[in-house]
Structure 1
Amino acid sequence: MLKRIATDLLDIVYDEQGDADGWPVVLLHGFPYDIHAYEDIAPRLASRGARVITPFLRGYGPTRFLSAATPRSGQQAALAADLLALLDALRIERAVLGGYDWGGRAACIVAALYPSRARGLVSVNGYNIQDIATAMRPASPEKEHRMWYQYYLHGERGRAGLTENRRAFCRLLWSLWSPSWRFGDDTYARSAAAFDNPDFVDVVVHSYRHRFGLVDGDPRFDDMERRLSAMPPITVPAITLEGDADGVTPPGGRQADRKHFTGRHENRLVPNAGHNLPQEAPEAFAAAVLDIDAWAD
């Protein structure tokens, strides 16, 4: 059931399933996706006693900024602050946090900086906190070509292209990033409606410029960004997932980042799954959340 709640900056729309007194789980989508990524996962978790919260991130779907004066920031600290504000608004002291892409980044940040709010973590592609200080160091050509869309959005031609062709652009990314997933027109259309949010383009462009140090962030998040620059460890129980057909981050692409998980941690390779792993392999993602719940007891 879709619900809405106000935080200091946003009117957040979220899906809630399960008993209101169940163990809380917050599941966060990535770019360019939406809450439908978890449509086969939330009922599985709810049937096992969970209270499942799946919000539309800032700039997606019916979630809206409360003030026109608020910067349309897509920086990593903004996403994490939104997650904390949502937990506070819902009066959830601690939750299992799960996500991928942008949502996985928000979940990792909260787990790292505010471990008292996270019973555990499920993160696709591992440790998703951005090391902005080193972002301008070139990677291997094989890795660089996968980030073409980020470089495209660094210029105003890219902003115009996303504005004019957002559905075609994002569908191309779906296809490139999940080459083994045969999604249909209806599946894509349900999620693509979320990209019609009036702030979508601004939030997305800011995200891909800020992570390379090309634009300033929202000053209200300066302290959190400073703390993130230390690449803090994640001490809570964590399961990381990798799809073996991920077109953005191939398996093992972030193996060096595993040192940041200093609590109980397990990495799992999921066959025939691409970047949108929760929607492509819901059984594997749900199993990881249930295992984290068991570990945290």
Structure 2
Amino acid sequence: MRQFQNDGLTFDVRDGGPPDGEPVVLLHGFPQDCSAFDRVAPLLHDAGLRTLAPDQRGYSPGARPRGRSPYRLRAVTGDVLALLDAAGLQSAHVVGHDWGGAVAWALGAWHPERVRTLTALSTPHPAAAGRAVLTSDQGLRSSYMAAFQVPVVPERLMLARDGAALRGLLQNGGLPEETAARYVDRLRKPGALSAALAWYRAIPLAARDSVGRVSVPTLHVWSTGDAFLGPAATAMTRRHVTGPYRLEVLDGVPHWIPELAAERTAELVVEHVRTAVGAPG
């Protein structure tokens, strides 16, 4: 597969590894694209797993609807269901980082029959994140999300001087300069950054898309060097999982787990997949 369609939109996707391998969907976050998993995917292929890594809504050039409503969690979750359908898969293992992690949590809660295992990289359960904003320093860590709600201005500021401000934000958060530059160059395309920020601008609509408890086997990977997502929400996430749950903490790794801890990420995903394969349910 190179592309699939949903909701009148066309998505780019990288389909790699053995076609008959256990399927693993890899979901990137902001401001990444599917290349966030470029170091992880080959290691999963070597372990006999097939990977499907889409450029999500707003990141695929053919999937950039205007406004914020098309980026509600229900909508972006529907894109992954469409990917599974296009691939002829009843279910798959789902790995998500950052916003991709939020999509993974929603899939596990709303469509457990389509999720063989769930792996959330960095991202806590949405309900735990919401609680942590009110009870810990997570509100301060997430303050940039409020700034993103302002129309037009964030795009102008972040893309001024060839995207210097956005590159600085990413590098200050631990992303290597070369990787940050690659993501920024892509977001400098017309409409690309506004589409990516629409995920944040849809947050006020989240009351309609409450994510409940998750019953599928879940691996949560968090890193102590994460400047954006703190320990409070991570600690509370276990309360929102009724199925098998494991928390793995990576010491000193920044937020960008797929890029900066690829080998350990792949090891954990392979172990998680193999543990669940053949398990009842």
- Where do residues 198-213 of structure 1 align in structure 2 (5 Å cutoff)? 198-211=190-203, 213=204
Partner in structure 1 of residue 109 of structure 2: 112
More helix as a share of residues: 2
Against the structure 1 CA distance between its residues 70 and 101, is the aligned structure 2 distance closer, same or farther, given a 3 Å change threshold? same
Change (3 A) 1:129 1:85: farther
1:76–1:130 contact (8 Å) kept in structure 2: no
Aligned equivalents of 1:106 and 1:293: distance in 2?
19
CA contact (8 A) 1:73 1:202 kept: no
Cα-to-partner distance string for 1:163-191 (whole Å, 9 max, x where unaligned): 5468333323322332xx5x233x33333
Q: CA RMSD in A?
A: 2.8
- Say which of 165, 169, 181 aligns to 2:165: 169
What residue in structure 2 maps to residue 24 of structure 1?
23
CA contact (8 A) 2:227 2:255 kept: yes
Change (3 A) 1:286 1:270: same
CA distance in 2, matches of 1:257, 1:268: 12
Aligned to 1:295: 275
**Counterpart secondary structure, 2:239:** helix
**1:193 aligned residue (185, 198, 201):** 185
CA pair 296-166 structure 1, distance change in 2 beyond 3 A: farther
* Aligned residues of 1:72 and 1:203 also touching (Cα < 8 A): no
CA distance change for structure 1 residues 159 and 203 in 2, over 3 Å: closer, same or farther? Answer: same
Structure 2 contact 68–198 (Cα < 8 Å) conserved: no
Is 1:64 the equivalent of 2:57?
A: no
Question: 1: distance between equivalents of 2:245 and 2:13?
Answer: 29
Q: Identity, % of aligned pairs?
A: 26
Equivalent of 2:92 in 92, 95, 114: 95
Name the SS for the 2:134 alignment partner: coil
Amino acid at match of 1:146: R
Maintained 8 Å contact 1:126/1:258: no
Specify the alignment match of 1:125 in structure 2. Answer: 122
For the structure 1 residues 198 and 130, does the alpha-carbon distance in structure 2 shift closer, same or farther, using more than 3 Å as the test? Answer: farther
Calculate the TM-score normalised by the size of structure 2. 0.86
1:261-276 aligned at under 5 Å gives the runs 261-276=241-256
CA contact (8 A) 1:95 1:117 kept: yes
The TM-score with structure 1 as length reference comes to: 0.82
122-131 or 79-88, which deviates more = 122-131
Report the CA distance shift for 1:52/1:149 in structure 2 as closer, same or farther (over 3 A): same
Shift of 1:141: 7.5
In the other structure, the counterpart of 1:222 is: none
State the 1:285 CA deviation. 1.2
Aligned residues: 276
| Preserved contact between residue 22 and residue 51 of structure 1 (Cα < 8 Å) | yes
2-side partners of 1:206 and 1:112: how far apart? Answer: 23
Q: State the alpha-carbon separation in 2 of the partners of residues 198 and 119 from structure 1.
A: 37
Q: Secondary structure at the match of 2:269?
A: helix
Could you tell me whether the CA contact under 8 Å between 1:10 and 1:63 is conserved in 2?
A: no
What are the Cα deviations for residues 82-118 of structure 1, in whole angstroms up to 9, with x where unaligned? 1111111221211110011111111111111111111
How much does 1:205 deviate?
Answer: 3.5
| Counterpart check, 1:248 vs 2:228 | yes
How far apart, in 2, do the equivalents of 1:143 and 1:282 lie? 26
Which one of 184, 189, 196 corresponds to residue 177 of structure 2? 184
- Which of the numbers 142, 148, 166 marks the counterpart of 1:153? 148
| 2:128–2:234 contact (8 Å) kept in structure 1 | no
Q: 1:73: Cα distance to partner?
A: 3.0
Consecutive unaligned residues of structure 2, counting only runs of 5 or more, are none
Offset from partner CA, 1:4-38 (integer Å, 9 cap, x none): 22223321111121111211001011101122221
Paired with 2:25 and 2:92, the residues of 1 have a C-alpha distance of 7
